[in-house]
Amino acid sequence: MGDVGQYARAELAERIDRLDRVGALFPLPGVAAGDRDPTAPEFASVLRNVRFELLRRRDYAALDQLLERLAVRARVLGDRELAEVARLLLRHNRWLTGRFDRTDDLLTSGSTAGTWAALDDVFSGFYANTLGRFAESMRRLRRVEQASAEQRRAAEFFVGLDLRLVCAAWKFWNRGELNDYAGMNADSGLLDDVCGKRYPGAGQSRVQLLLAAGTFYLHHRNYALADRYLTGSFDASSGTTSRLYPRIASALALCRHHQGDDRAGDAYYQQAAAGLPEHFGPTGWQLRLVAYQRMLGDTDHALALTQRIRAETESKHEVVHNIWARLYELDLRNELHLSSPAAWQLLDEAGHHNMGRACDYILERQRCA
C-alpha cells in the first residue's frame, strides 16, 4: 500500500471530526480482502487503510488516538453502528499490546448482534486462543462460518482477510493444543484446495492457513505433511520479505531438522532469528526458536530467549505462550520433573486450560529423565 504518512492520518482525523450524519460508514465499499488502495475516497476505506498501515508500522498509540476520536464522534452523533465498530477495533488494538484489564474486557458474557456480530466473533476467536480458552475460540470461529453474508462481509472489510481461510487457520492453531477434531475433514479439504491452488486469490489468508496447518502437523510429528504445508505457505507469501516469513522459517527450521537436513534447518533458524527485532503479534513463533536452540544444546541462548518471551507474554496476557515459556525454562534448568512443585503447578495450569500438548510434553520429559 505504501506509507499513509502523517497527512493521511491528519486527513482521517479531520474527516472524523466532520462526520455529521448517522450511517457514515455505509454502504461499505466493495474491496477484495487484501486491498489496501490508499487513494479510495470513501470514509470507510480511508479508515480501513489508515488502520492497516498503522498496524503494519506497529504504531498502536496513534491508532488508539484515532479510534478514540471515532468513538467520541459516534457518541455525539448517536450512531450505534459506528460506536460499535470503534469499540471492537479499539478492543483489538488493546489486545495486540496487552492493554486490557481483565479477560472479561475481551470475552464478555454476551456478544455483538447485527452488522458487526461476525467481526466480534472472529476477533474473539483470536483472543480466546491466546487466553487458553480454546473451546470458546472454536465456538466463536464456527459461529462466524454460520453468520449472514452481510455480517461476514462487514467483518472481512475490517479484518482484511478471507474469513473462510482465517477461521480455518485459527481452528488449526486451537487444535495444536485442544483435542477437538470436529469439522477437521472440511477444514482439511479446504486446506488441500488452497495448497493445490484450486482456491482463488486470498493472499495473506492463504499464507496464514498453510502456516497454521503446517505447524499443527509439525506438533504431531508428521514432518512430511508439515513440510508440504509450510513450503506452500512460503510459496504463497512474498518470500523472505514477508512479515510472516520469520514465523514460517521458525517452523521449517524444526521440520527440516527432524527430517535430518541439519544444514537447511540451521539456515531457516538463522533467517527466523533475524526477524526478532521486527516482532509483531502473538509470540508463539519465538518458542519454536527456543525449541530449535534446545535441540542443538544451546542452553544459554535458549534460556535467554525463553526469559524474554516469558516477560513479554506476561505483559501482553498471552496465557498459553506464557505457560510454554515457563515450561521451557524449567526444562532448560533441568527442573521439569514431577518432584518439582513448579512442574506440578505448570501441569495443573496446562490441564486447566486444556493444553493437551503441553501436558504431554511435561509427562514425556518424565520418561526421558
pLDDT in tens, 140-177: 999 999 999 999 999 999 999 999 999 999 999 999 99
Residue-level pLDDT at 110? 59
Residue-level pLDDT at 8? 81
Residue-level pLDDT at 86? 96
**Measured distance CA(236)–CA(285) in Å, rounded:** 19
What is the per-residue pLDDT across 236-286, written as a single tens digit (0 to 9) for each? 999 899 999 999 999 999 999 999 999 999 999 999 999 999 898 899 999
**Measured distance CA(363)–CA(303) in Å, rounded:** 21
201-205-208-211 Cα dihedral, nearest 10 degrees: -20
Query: Taking the alpha carbons of 199, 209, 254, 269 in that order, is the dihedral positive or negative?
Result: positive
The Cα-based distances of 51 to 12, 82, 98 in angstroms read 10, 15, 18
Question: What does pTM read for this prediction?
Answer: 0.94
What is the per-residue pLDDT across 296-318, written as a single tens digit (0 to 9) for each? 999 999 999 999 999 999 999 99
- Using DSSP, state whether 327 is helix, strand or coil: helix
Residue 2's pLDDT band, with cuts at 50, 70 and 90, is very low
Count, residues in the chain: 369
Residue-level pLDDT at 193? 96
Residue-level pLDDT at 3? 53
- At 170, which amino acid appears? W
